[in-house]
Structure 1
Amino acid sequence: MHRRHAMTALALLPAATAIPAWAQPSPGGCIAMGDWTGFAARHIQPDGRVIDFDTPQQQSTSEGQSYALFFSVVHDDRRNFERVLAWTETNLSGGSLAQRLPAWLWGRKTEGGWGVIDTNPASDAELWIAYALLEAARLWNEPRYRTLGRALLALVVRDEVVTLAGLGRMLLPWSRDVASGPVWRLNASYMPLQLLRRFQQEEPTGPWREIADNTVRMIAEVSPQGFAPDWCAWSTERKAFVADPDKGTVGSYDAIRVYLWAGMLNPQEPARAALLKSLYGPRRVVERPQAPPEYVDTATGVVRGTGPAGFSGALLPYLKAQNAMPALTAQLARIPTDLGGTRVPPKAPLPYYERMLLLFGQGWLDGRYAFGRHGELQPQWRPPCPSTRTA
């Protein structure tokens, strides 16, 4: 079985950036795994449910399940992969991801008991689940995962891909049954370009190339100040991207992932330079230097609030791709010790979403995984070090 290993990203950083010792490649061919094992120990139940403890409903989302599947593959963790997949199929898809898109929200119901709270699907989770299945099939030589991943993609195309007048085929955030024109709501963070490229390779006649092209166009046109909004929309009457009718032009907890996905693109990705050029806003802010803003008005560029540590983690690949080394070092300094470091640990465990952002950003910077030119996952599977960081 062919495995392409990613180079250790930190080895490419100049010494002048003074990367902390904990972030340096581990000696002896091992790799620090405390962030993933700590996350799994806290958030993944024995049955495979990923819990967000910072919500009243003690909720689980299809997003959380999808990210856990991805990181299980990144860390060659088949046990957690199987558990998370089984819980997701049973509880979110009525027993079969091949026949039903997963409900996005599960947890404690207001009327009592536990179960699905909102049956609507969320397309970002479905893309990550399908991607994890395809890459698990390829890297672990398990054809059944590829069969399931392709079946899930077929449901996505059937239920969530539409042809928008004046634009072409595009991925909706949810099922077309609950969407309506003439203004169609869209979310750039739901469409990581590397995933679309992988699907393009898997299904050359599918809609993925067109969706990828439209995603790059969308990000450029809705980011006039270099910041991506959480949500935007396409007006079939105006034949143009417009502000989201509900969320407006705010960029925050969704949009932070747009910079993360762009930063992790393979250097040979044709659209990488254009995306990074469109998304110049966060770099200008953090180079001052200062923390990433929690909110930004993407129409005016006015920022407010201080983003959490997870925002800093999400910007690590972006800043590396922009060659903004002093800013990268400053953001590394904001990452607490429970996900790496020798600084004072946080008083309480970081929330689920922040930890996920840090798993993505810090893991990529550490060289634990990368994405190939065609979106394929390139994990660096090495034995865990005897003493690892824990939560």
Structure 2
Amino acid sequence: MHRVIKAALLLSIAFFVVSCSTKDNSEFTSQYIAYKALFIDGDRVIDTGNDNVSHSEGQGYGMLFAVAADDKDTFDALWHWTKRTLMRDDGLFSWRYRPCADNSASCIDDPNNASDGEILIAWALLRAHEQWGGSSYLENAKTIVRAVEQKLLITNKNSVVLLPGEYGFTSKQVGKNSLQLNLSYWVFPAITDLAKISSAPARWDKLYKSGLALLSKMQFSSYQLPSDWVRFTPTNTDSGNKDIGTVSLDEVISPEFGFNAIRIPLQLTWSPQFRENTQLTEKLLAPYYAWWAITPTPATVNLLNEETAEYEMSEGMKSVQIAVTSLMKTEAPEKPEWPLIDRNMDYYSASLTLLSMLAVLDNAS
């Protein structure tokens, strides 16, 4: 009951700020206040669409949003809980915490990591260092970067790829080794920034380029869209061929363009380096524009049989479309009209909305 009253009070404040503010950074802050009231319980982000679990991805999102809103107290609370509860001895993070009586690390029901969590948390710590100073944020970010390099970056003949987690994503067969990858875990602007604090920046640069090369191959079905999950068989020959390898939808977790892959166009266009490559932007973004031209746009499509969802995109997915359109305009874009974060949104849709707003804010200049 206390949490409900607190959320209602904070939401009232947020709506007041929205009504009284101009549409600049204050709009992000007011949306963040609503997000905080609905999805942050003291020191952990609550995934309301999945039994109120917390996961490394959500903690990373919450930390990113807190930095952007200049909310140091919330950032520190989220980071201390994440470090105390989810961080493993090797510097990676257990990906899922399911609430239990102990309210401790014993509530972790899957100790494997999810690499988008590491990328987001390290990036948030780096941004916190840039925002507020202090060496501890930076040193913790470097620790995570080293752990990612040691356990999650896989170097092949012509590529560097990011394992989705330490365990469970490799397949060894006679004559070939394949990896199951999730390209929505490639947070392209974060990869660029984290390279600057790495002792091996060339590996991160190769990771960025390998992600673009993979996406150029991941244009499946007549829709030419990327899948949530893809099977990658790398090239490991010395033939001189610069091709990175082959991709397929064979026995993947999900062959859909869905709630994972929707982050790909946002994270591409968030990166100034990507937007500057006109030839590549045209090739990779055209399928999204064509997909969004369908009215109403389905939330997902199975790229094996082209069966579309019977329900349309969520408000968070629509936020991604708004951000991509805004970021790719060559002339000064109009102020985006963002969906309002309120009780009708679940955690993930609200997170996509704030991510989209943050991407546009980052590139406002």
1:91 correspondence with 2:97: no
Aligned pairs for 1:28-177 (under 5 A) are 31-32=26-27, 33-46=29-42, 48-56=43-51, 58-93=52-87, 99-108=90-99, 115-164=107-156, 166-175=157-166
1:235 matched residue in structure 2? 233
1:196 aligned partner: 191
- Partner of 2:45, secondary structure, is coil
- Where 1:108 maps in the other structure, the secondary structure is coil
Q: Counterpart amino acid of 1:221?
A: K
- Give the 3 Å change call, closer, same or farther, for CA 152–30 of structure 1 in structure 2: closer
Asked if structure 2 preserves the Cα contact closer than 8 Å seen for 1:159 and 1:176, the reply is no
Comparing 293-302 with 304-313, greater Cα deviation is found at 293-302
How far residue 285 of structure 1 moved from its aligned partner, in angstroms, is 3.0
Distance of 2:19 and 2:283 partners within structure 1: 28
Give the Cα–Cα distance (whole angstroms) in 1 for the partners of residues 304 and 178 of structure 2.
Answer: 19
Determine helix, strand or coil for the equivalent of 1:135: helix
Letter in 1 for 2:224: G
Contact 2:216–2:284 (Cα < 8 Å) also in 1: yes
Pick one of 302, 305, 311 that aligns with 1:297: 302
SS at match of 2:272: coil
C-alpha separation between the residues in 2 aligned to 1:106 and 1:79? 22
Instruction: Give how far 1:308 is off.
Output: 1.1
Q: Describe the superposition over 1:19-38 as per-residue Cα deviations: whole angstroms up to 9, x where unpaired.
A: xxx799818x8723221011
Note the C-alpha offset of 1:266: 1.8
The structure showing larger relative contact order (alpha-carbon pairs under 8 Å, at least 6 residues apart) is 1
**Percent of pairs with identical residues:** 20
The offset of 1:150, in angstroms, is 0.4
Shift in alpha-carbon separation, 1:296–1:337, aligned structure 2, 3 A = same
Offset of residue 60 of structure 1 = 0.4
1:235: how far off? 1.5
Counterpart-to-counterpart distance in 2, 1:265 and 1:70: 16
Q: In structure 2, do the counterparts of structure 1 residues 35 and 92 end up closer, same or farther at CA, with 3 Å as the change threshold?
A: same
How many Å separate the matches in 1 of 2:346 and 2:352? Answer: 10
Distance 1:180 1:41, change over 3 A: same
Q: 1:272 to 1:264 in 2, by over 3 A?
A: farther
The amino acid across from 1:123 in the alignment is S
Provide the rounded CA distance (Å) in 2 between the counterparts of 1:76 and 1:233.
40
Q: Partner residue of 1:370? A: 363
- Report the residue type matching 1:160 in the other structure: L
Query: Where does residue 10 of structure 2 map in the other structure?
Result: none
Between Structure 1 and Structure 2, the one with more helix by share is 2
What does the per-residue CA deviation read over 1:164-199, in whole Å, with 9 as the maximum and x for residues that have no partner? 3x5432111011576343120111110121111112
Q: 1:324 to 1:244 in 2, by over 3 A?
A: farther
Deviation per residue, 1:103-124 (Å, 9 max, x gap): 0000136999961011000101
The reply on whether 1:278 has 2:278 as its aligned counterpart is: no
Q: How many pairs align?
A: 329
Tell me by how many angstroms 1:264 deviates: 1.9
- Residues 276 and 316 (structure 1), Cα distance of their counterparts in 2 relative to 1, 3 Å cut: farther
- Helix, strand or coil at the partner of 1:202: coil
Retained in 1: the 8 A contact 2:169–2:179?
Answer: no
**TM-score computed with the length of structure 1 as normaliser:** 0.74
> Using a 3 Å threshold, how does the CA distance of structure 1 residues 178 and 259 change in structure 2: closer, same or farther?
closer
Corresponding residue of 1:8: none
- Secondary structure of the structure 1 residue equivalent to 2:363: strand
TM-score normalised to structure 2 length = 0.79
Corresponding letter in the other structure for 2:136: R
Alignment of 1:338-353 (within 5 A): 338=341, 348-353=343-348
Change over 3 Å in CA distance of 1:247–1:272 after alignment to 2: farther
Letter paired with 2:170:
A
Which residue of structure 2 lines up, in the alignment, with residue 257 of structure 1? 263
User: Retained in 2: the 8 A contact 1:227–1:279?
Assistant: no
Aligned partner of 2:206 in structure 1 is 210
What is the CA distance between 1:276 and its match in structure 2? 4.7
The structure 2 residue matched to 1:187, chosen from 176, 182, 186, is: 182
Ranges in structure 1 where 5+ consecutive residues have no aligned partner: 1-21, 340-347, 372-377, 379-391
**Which residue does the alignment assign to 1:219?**
215
- SS of the equivalent of 2:92 reads coil
